[in-house]
Amino acid sequence: MTELPLLTDFHSHILPGIDDGARKSEDSIAALKKAAVCGIRQVVFTPHFYPHRQNPKEFLSRREASYRRLFEKTDGFRALPAVYRGAEVLAFAGLDRMEGFRSLLIEGTDILLLELPFSAAEHTEELFETIERILNRHRLTVLLAHPHRYEEKSILRALTLGARLQLNAEDAASFFQRRRTEAFLATGAVAALGSDMHRDLRVYDRWTKAAKHLRGRMAPLALPSLPQTETTEKEEEERKEP
């Protein structure tokens, strides 16, 4: 049986011109085509959301503009994997109290893709209390991005609270990361695979190996089927005009 979550790229910086990922639509299209060749059927666009740089409203409007450009260039993502709008949200204490916080979830889901601050010194008690509220009070699914980057202590804390893990294909396929990957799999919390594609298409070369390694060993998350939309009804009407 096909395991759809392994055919879903939960973490990518493919949307053009919005963060340190793809620069132009052509780069984005090349990435989506390569993903399709690797058997990927769904791609979640997760540009970085940095709370110190913008608010959710500004972020969403920039993301929508980028998405629309790509939608137009691909004729509605025709013959490409199904795509979803999301964000890779940098965790901070009080994130759940920020206006518009829920608009950062992966569209059509209750999933929040969260990255921890780079410095372990910022993995504070307040930060974990925030994660706990997101899980227990808001009842959302926290998907912790690329756990290979963080100290074991922080991962364990997040897992104890109920977070789930998204592995990057490069890490999951890496011989050198094998011990940690096995430890993550043993927790039963690995729920998603991602390319974390920025500009180097070669990240998809590791996808098949990573997916093979994870098959049957995840507690996978699935995405709902969504229509690929971008335009408002008014725009649709205008488009029909000769």
In the bound state with Fe ion, the residue whose beta carbon lies nearer, of 171 and 196, is 196
Cα 69 from Cα 56, distance rounded (Å): 20
Least gap, CB of 78 to Fe ion (angstroms): 26
In the bound state with Fe ion, the residue whose beta carbon lies nearer, of 88 and 96, is 88
Least gap, CB of 81 to Fe ion (angstroms): 18
Q: Where are the alpha helices (DSSP H) in the chain?
A: 25-37, 56-73, 125-136, 152-161, 169-172, 178-186, 207-214, 233-240
Distance, CA of 9 to chain centre: 7
Least gap, CB of 35 to Fe ion (angstroms): 15
Least gap, CB of 11 to Fe ion (angstroms): 6
Residues 6+ apart with CB under 8 A from 120: 150, 151, 153, 154
Total Cβ atoms within 10 A of residue 7? 17
Q: Residues touching Fe ion: how many (CB under 5 A)?
A: 2
In the bound state with Fe ion, the residue whose beta carbon lies nearer, of 27 and 88, is 88
Is 19 an interacting residue with respect to Fe ion (CB under 5 A)? Answer: no
Which 186-215 positions form the footprint of Fe ion (CB under 5 A)?
Answer: 196
- Helix, strand, or coil here: 143? strand
Distance, CA of 115 to chain centre: 10
Figure out which of the listed residues 9, 19, 27, 88 binds Fe ion, where binding follows CB under 5 A.
88
In the bound state with Fe ion, the residue whose beta carbon lies nearer, of 144 and 223, is 144
Least gap, CB of 98 to Fe ion (angstroms): 20
Q: Which residues bind Fe ion (CB under 5 A)?
A: 88, 196
